């Protein structure tokens, strides 16, 4: 049996495959299975072979870490729209560290732009680095930084903004930035397109290039936002598993619905605004019919001059309704000083608060605890674990009991994440939480699919 080189080394591998003896060149990764050797091939894909099928392994080079070098920007015509890319990190700006086999965020914004010379034919590109982090680490202070940087971009004369962002919380940040610009009845000066990728840029199946090209195209060529349908911010990601088309989703109505598919993002209780198409390197876009009607018929809002900032000290607790929700857990969290509680209810927005068989005293305790919270003027907001569909507490007697208790959320069709962002926005501004949740501030509560 051959001796396996260390991860990160470049090797020639002579292997017995289904097609006979084959010679491969690649970088050794940590093995995908025991007694296997795994290579990262030049085309970006990984290949694994059992050690007993290996005839020989020749080391031809060592591990070269990926340098975060500065590269010159892409030269574009001055007649093209000005687009500023705000770089926060995520998979779209990631490569594989072959010494560990892990994906790491290490592209600089200039590298990201220089890797796609096609951008030069779409817009005048500028790139600003706000951070280089995975989206799990994004917090409200980072929302504020994006809002501030987007305002500066528009103040500097840019026509649109593209935010590169990790996908796991991209929809949360897009909702937060959209609310900051349009929550008070205004709109952003131009489109702010959020974009990420499900596969790192150096993988053969990467969606990074197409997603970024489509996001820049939309930011440069799309209609000016109305502010009424969640279009001040948009999410631009693959429309399906195949290349060629990216969906443009309302920034307050999108949600990541799959952990790994390239078309992970889907609209919730709304429709996509449009799509960007790539055909032999040519980019075009189409508008959804309903969005076209909005653009033609609705009175556009005034442009917001000073977008809102989020209070970073706000604390919002979240609970999930079900057999494991207990009063003592709620009480313990309340003692920590939270300013609001969001409960992910079942179905239409129900909580375990009744004990008809007199055999579940836990439910009565939850009811009493939530009632005490309302009496302490702690907003209790109910959203649904179902994701799609409205919160409707009028259907069953339990729901009407919850409304009598003072629980908030009836009628909302916002995604759970947008609902929480909305609570945070209200706590950071002068609007009461109940009024904010009941309103359609900027398209997050529009309910297009069920109207």
Identify whether residues 256 and 136 lie together within a single domain. Answer: yes
Unique residue bearing structure tokens 């429309």: 239
Out of 168, 207, 263, 308, the active site residue is 168
**Of 234, 268, 297, which residue is a domain's last?**
297
The CATH number of the domain where 370 resides is what?
3.40.50.40
Identify whether residues 336 and 274 lie together within a single domain. Answer: no
Is 168 a residue of the active site?
A: yes
Is 58 a residue of the active site?
A: no
Predicted pLDDT at 66: 43
DSSP readout, 71-101?
-PPPP--TTSPEEEEEE--SGGGEEEETTTT
Q: Assess if residue 311 is contained within a domain.
A: no
Identify whether residues 246 and 357 lie together within a single domain. Answer: no
Out of 88, 164, 167, 191, the active site residue is 167
pTM for the full model?
A: 0.82
Identify whether residues 119 and 231 lie together within a single domain. Answer: yes
Give the residue from 158, 162, 163 showing the smallest Cα distance to 124. Answer: 158
Out of 40, 151, 256, 365, the active site residue is 256
Identify whether residues 389 and 443 lie together within a single domain. Answer: yes
Identify whether residues 445 and 332 lie together within a single domain. Answer: yes
Is 167 a residue of the active site?
A: yes
Unique residue bearing structure tokens 């030269």: 75
Q: Assess if residue 309 is contained within a domain.
A: no
428 C-beta neighbours (distance < 10 Å), count: 20
Q: Assess if residue 191 is contained within a domain.
A: yes
Q: Assess if residue 261 is contained within a domain.
A: yes
The CATH number of the domain where 257 resides is what?
3.40.50.1170
Identify whether residues 128 and 266 lie together within a single domain. Answer: yes
Identify whether residues 186 and 251 lie together within a single domain. Answer: yes
User: Into how many domains does the chain fold?
Assistant: 3
Identify whether residues 181 and 326 lie together within a single domain. Answer: no
Q: Assess if residue 253 is contained within a domain.
A: yes
Q: How far apart (Å, rounded) are the C-alpha atoms in residues 124 and 448?
A: 35
Predicted pLDDT at 72: 47
- Tens of each residue's pLDDT in the chain, 451 residues: 678 888 878 888 888 877 788 888 888 887 877 888 887 777 666 788 888 888 888 888 775 544 434 344 456 677 899 999 999 976 665 555 555 555 555 556 666 667 778 888 999 999 899 988 889 999 999 999 999 999 999 999 999 999 999 999 999 999 999 999 999 999 999 999 999 988 765 555 678 889 999 999 999 999 999 999 999 999 999 999 888 999 999 999 999 999 989 899 999 999 999 999 999 889 999 999 999 999 998 777 999 999 999 999 999 999 999 999 999 999 999 999 999 999 999 999 999 999 999 999 999 999 999 999 999 999 999 999 999 999 999 999 999 999 999 999 999 999 999 999 999 999 999 899 999 999 999 999 987 655 4
Q: Assess if residue 284 is contained within a domain.
A: yes
Identify whether residues 267 and 336 lie together within a single domain. Answer: no
**Of 297, 328, 357, which residue is a domain's last?**
297
Q: How far apart (Å, rounded) are the C-alpha atoms in residues 375 and 282?
A: 60
Query: Is-contact 222 228, C-beta < 8 A?
Result: no
Query: Is-contact 15 24, C-beta < 8 A?
Result: yes
Identify whether residues 56 and 94 lie together within a single domain. Answer: no
Please tell me what DSSP assigns to residue 303.
Answer: B
Q: Assess if residue 306 is contained within a domain.
A: no
Predicted pLDDT at 67: 43
Give the residue from 120, 109, 114 showing the smallest Cα distance to 79. Answer: 120
Out of 38, 88, 91, 226, the active site residue is 91
Give the residue from 352, 359, 438 showing the smallest Cα distance to 391. Answer: 438
The CATH number of the domain where 42 resides is what?
2.30.30.520
Q: Assess if residue 3 is contained within a domain.
A: no
DSSP readout, 410-428?
TT--S-HHHHHHHHHHHHH
Identify whether residues 143 and 283 lie together within a single domain. Answer: yes
Q: How far apart (Å, rounded) are the C-alpha atoms in residues 195 and 247?
A: 11
Is 152 a residue of the active site?
A: no
Domain that holds residue 26: 10-61
């Amino acid at each position: 049996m051959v001796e396996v080189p260390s991860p990160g080394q470049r090797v020639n591998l002579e292997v017995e495959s289904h097609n006979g003896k084959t010679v491969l060149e690649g970088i050794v990764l940590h093995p995908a299975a025991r007694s296997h050797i795994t290579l990262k091939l030049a085309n970006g894909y990984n290949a694994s072979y059992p050690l007993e099928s290996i005839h020989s392994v020749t080391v031809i080079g060592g591990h070269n870490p990926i340098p975060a070098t500065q590269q010159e920007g892409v030269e574009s015509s001055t007649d093209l729209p000005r687009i500023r890319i705000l770089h926060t990190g995520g998979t779209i700006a990631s490569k594989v560290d072959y010494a560990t086999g892990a994906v790491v965020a290490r592209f600089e914004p200039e590298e990201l732009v220089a890797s796609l010379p096609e951008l030069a034919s779409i817009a005048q590109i500028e790139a600003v680095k706000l951070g280089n982090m995975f989206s799990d680490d994004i917090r409200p202070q980072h929302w504020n930084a994006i809002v501030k940087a987007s305002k500066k971009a528009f103040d500097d004369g840019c026509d649109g903004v593209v935010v590169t962002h990790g996908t796991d919380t991209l929809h949360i940040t897009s909702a937060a930035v959209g609310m900051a610009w349009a929550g008070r009845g205004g709109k952003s000066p131009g489109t702010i397109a959020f974009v990420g990728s499900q596969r790192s840029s150096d993988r053969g199946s990467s969606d990074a290039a197409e997603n970024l090209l489509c996001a820049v195209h939309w930011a440069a060529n799309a209609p000016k936002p109305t502010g009424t349908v969640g279009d001040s911010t948009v999410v631009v990601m693959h429309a399906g598993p195949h290349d060629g088309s990216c969906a443009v989703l309302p920034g307050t109505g999108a949600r990541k619905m799959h952990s790994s598919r390239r078309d992970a993002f889907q609209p919730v209780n709304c429709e996509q605004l449009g799509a960007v198409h790539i055909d032999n390197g040519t980019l075009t876009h189409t508008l959804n019919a309903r969005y076209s009607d909005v653009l033609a018929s609705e009175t556009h809002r005034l442009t917001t001059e000073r977008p809102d900032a989020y209070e970073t000290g706000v604390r919002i607790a979240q609970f999930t309704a079900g057999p494991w929700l207990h009063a003592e857990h709620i009480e313990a969290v309340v003692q920590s000083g939270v300013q609001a509680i969001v409960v992910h209810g079942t179905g239409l927005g129900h909580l375990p608060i009744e004990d008809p068989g007199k055999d579940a005293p836990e439910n009565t305790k939850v009811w009493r605890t939530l009632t005490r919270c309302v009496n302490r003027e702690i907003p209790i907001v109910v959203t649904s674990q179902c994701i799609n569909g409205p919160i409707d507490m009028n259907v069953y007697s339990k729901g009407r009991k919850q409304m009598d208790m003072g629980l908030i959320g009836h009628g909302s069709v916002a995604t759970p994440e947008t609902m929480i962002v909305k609570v945070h926005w209200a706590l950071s501004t002068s609007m009461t939480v109940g009024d904010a949740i009941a309103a359609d501030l900027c398209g997050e509560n529009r309910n297009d699919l069920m109207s």
